[in-house]
Structure 1
Amino acid sequence: MEGLGITVTEHLLIHQKESPAATGQFTRLLSELIFSAKIIAREVKKAGLVDILGLTGDINVQGEQVRKLDEFSNRVLIYRMQRSGVLCAMASEENADVIEVPDDMPRGNYILIFDPLDGSSNIDVNVNIGTIFSIYRVVGERPYVTMEEFLRKGSEQVAAGYFLYGPSTMLVYTTGKGVHGFTLDPTVGEFLLSHPDIRIPEQGRIYSVNESNTNYWDGRTKKVVDYFKSTENARRKPYTARYIGALVADFHRNLLDGGIFMYPADNKDPAKPSGKLRLLCEAAPLAFVAEQAGGAATDGRERILDIRAAHLHQRTPLFIGSRRDVETATAIMKGDV
């Protein structure tokens, strides 16, 4: 396969002039993320053999039960990234507040926001899961980090991507100059370029949505899903339904094959009127990847990357995937169709 044998670091160095984020600090940041992902992937591979399946008994800031591998992944990322020397602060889906870099640790010019283990409800049944990350560069001159540094538009990201832990472990990321995928070769312990310049098809053949929530959707949301199921759409045949239940896994399939992933708002839980997904650690980074691959992402009305977060754990509806499919869904949600 073309490009096989090129590591992530080599790829960064080759394209450094094209990637404004590819500084020495950024390369170190990505290297630490990769090392953390290798540790997590190792534990995922042997999850059935050691006592890291199941629940811890704790509840995270999202009001969800924390799983043992979730907690392990979060601790690994925090520990490694606090000592990387390139971050000034970070935020995790699992932590209520901003995570500071200790005073006795060197600091850098980047902010990291991450979901340590997306799809963790699938851990016990051996289904693909992943780590999603978003990277911003600090813009202020203060010696400390303010919340405003985190509450920014997704369009200000300098890099974003995810690690997918499945039959093989993959890294997919962008620095704003296209999307590239790397697969971990366990024989050499390196992520090697396997999917250069990923482009999502303009229109797909798959729709992904949790249809068990149908009774909690409004009329326009139901109309969107009915469109993709209908034989009357532009393709003259219904789309195929595929839903894994892990955002990163559903997104990755559609990124390569085309299609649309939807997690709309619903009235199932009054505490979550905007849906389940988090803007900063899930929707924004994947929207950045989608757009760089030629796709699109909206909340049903507005481009995800144009939304400025009001708080750290803000939730959002999400329609993401092939550009024409997302445009159609958004038009229906806005009442234009």
Structure 2
Amino acid sequence: MTGQPRLDDHLQRYSETSSHAPAVAAAVDAIAMASIEIADLIGTGELADAAGVTTGHNSDGDLQRNLDVQADAILRRCLAGLPIAALASEEMREPQIGDREGRICVAIDPLDGSSNIDVNMTVGTIFSILPTPDDPGLAFRQRGSSQLAAGFITYGPQTSLVLTLGDGVDIFVLDRRSGCFRLARGAVQISEACEEFAINAANRRHWDPPVRAFVDECLAGVEGPANHNFNMRWIGSLVAEIYRILTRGGVFLYPSDARPGYGDGRLRLTYEAHPMAFIVEQAGGSASTGRERILDLAAQTLHQRVPLVMGSSNEVRRVEELHCDPLLAASVSAPLFARRGFFRL
């Protein structure tokens, strides 16, 4: 791997392309450096100081672990001093206003999937970089299509950085011998052939009929309308799910459902759905709520939640078609188990 291009060289070339580019490149470089420290911390497992211990709940009500707090602190420290007008994090109640003359604003999910830490599964960091609006206080109410860059880091067998600077998607892998990220895959494209779908099937009884109909079509395999067989996957870590889709295709669904608190989905628009949608679209895929394009949405609050369907475009389009089916739409008010499916309850 030592002959592969380095991330810092990639960012240096990009920094010469526009007025925003130097600030974006500096932020990406800082996040990459932070991720090396986070990877080392996570890599110690239970030897880390209270790695799996919960510290309460974050500002959005989710269970907060010691490592969530530590990862947030590392990222904020590495980003400090950069010309960033506003910084938002899953671990912060409100955005932090910084350098009002800064050209960019940054939103981060410091440790996505942290509930998987105890079972040694892949977790990660997600980030979104936006231009600074006239009022930095409104930075995170922009549409997802306004993003200048987005990316995520996976902490797994390798520490990988998936990055879009608005012109395709590249995957860099941490070369631990040299302490830098090197290009592993350039111009990543999501396969049009969809062989896998990911959803938490245990929640089927709570899904709206269009989601149940789509999953039933997948389960029907070659005997159904999809006319080919699927494998079902579910890791429960957004970064791991999307990394798999980028490298071998597929579709991921985290829909809204009938459970209390899940009516608007569970993933956060600003620092989860927006950056992931930007990456997926840049790789030739699609990202939707099931009814509308994720990147067309603007958050009204920092921690706003949203349903999410993303991956191979044909499958995302099929989910949207099912949401527009008048018969399925009418059945939303029907008894919960009126429609038979492959999971018989």
Task: Report how far residue 22 of structure 1 moved.
Answer: 6.5
Q: Which residue matches 1:38?
A: 36
Out of 253, 269, 274, the residue aligned to residue 244 of structure 2 is: 253
Which ranges of structure 2 fall in alignment gaps of 5 or more residues?
329-345
The secondary structure found in structure 1 opposite 2:305 is: coil
Task: Report how far residue 332 of structure 1 moved.
Answer: 1.1
Contact 2:55 2:66 in 1 (8 A): no
1:69 counterpart = 2:67: yes
Alpha-carbon displacement from aligned partner over 1:130-152 (angstroms, at most 9, x marks no partner): 00000001131x5xx22x22101
State the TM-score, normalized to the length of structure 2: 0.89
Out of 322, 328, 333, the residue aligned to residue 332 of structure 1 is: 322
Aligned equivalents of 1:325, 1:106: Cα separation in 2:
42
Out of 297, 301, 312, the residue aligned to residue 322 of structure 1 is: 312
Aligned equivalents of 1:12, 1:80: Cα separation in 2:
17
Aligned equivalents of 2:100, 2:308: Cα separation in 1:
37
Query: Which letter maps to 2:67?
Result: L
The secondary structure found in structure 1 opposite 2:267 is: coil
Distance 1:21 1:41, change over 3 A: farther
The secondary structure found in structure 1 opposite 2:229 is: coil
Aligned equivalents of 2:19, 2:315: Cα separation in 1:
30
Q: Which residue matches 2:255?
A: 264
Aligned equivalents of 1:84, 1:164: Cα separation in 2:
25
Aligned equivalents of 2:204, 2:18: Cα separation in 1:
43
Alpha-carbon displacement from aligned partner over 1:143-176 (angstroms, at most 9, x marks no partner): xx22x22101000000001001000000001011
Aligned equivalents of 1:153, 1:46: Cα separation in 2:
38
Contact 2:20 2:104 in 1 (8 A): no
- Counting only pairs closer than 5 Å after superposition, residues 153-164 of structure 1 correspond to structure 2 as 153-164=143-154
Task: Report how far residue 107 of structure 1 moved.
Answer: 6.0
Out of 287, 292, 296, the residue aligned to residue 302 of structure 1 is: 292
The secondary structure found in structure 2 opposite 1:48 is: helix
How many percent of aligned residue pairs carry the same amino acid?
Answer: 36
Which ranges of structure 1 fall in alignment gaps of 5 or more residues?
none
Out of 21, 24, 46, the residue aligned to residue 23 of structure 1 is: 21
1:222 counterpart = 2:216: no
Out of 191, 198, 218, the residue aligned to residue 181 of structure 2 is: 191
Query: Which letter maps to 2:281?
Result: E
Contact 1:123 1:129 in 2 (8 A): yes
Q: Which residue matches 2:122?
A: 128
Aligned pair count reads 326
Deviates more, 1:91-100 or 1:177-186: 91-100
Q: Which residue matches 2:282?
A: 292
Out of 201, 205, 225, the residue aligned to residue 195 of structure 2 is: 205
Query: Which letter maps to 1:66?
Result: Q
Aligned equivalents of 1:324, 1:106: Cα separation in 2:
42
Q: CA RMSD in A?
A: 1.9
Contact 1:224 1:333 in 2 (8 A): no
The secondary structure found in structure 2 opposite 1:150 is: helix
Aligned equivalents of 1:108, 1:100: Cα separation in 2:
10
Q: Which residue matches 2:6?
A: 7
Deviates more, 1:242-251 or 1:47-56: 47-56
State the TM-score, normalized to the length of structure 1: 0.91
Q: Which residue matches 2:336?
A: none
Contact 2:253 2:308 in 1 (8 A): yes
Alpha-carbon displacement from aligned partner over 1:214-259 (angstroms, at most 9, x marks no partner): 1111211111111221124455233100111101101110111000
Query: Which letter maps to 1:70?
Result: D
Out of 233, 241, 250, the residue aligned to residue 242 of structure 1 is: 233
Aligned equivalents of 1:70, 1:21: Cα separation in 2:
33
Task: Report how far residue 329 of structure 1 moved.
Answer: 1.4
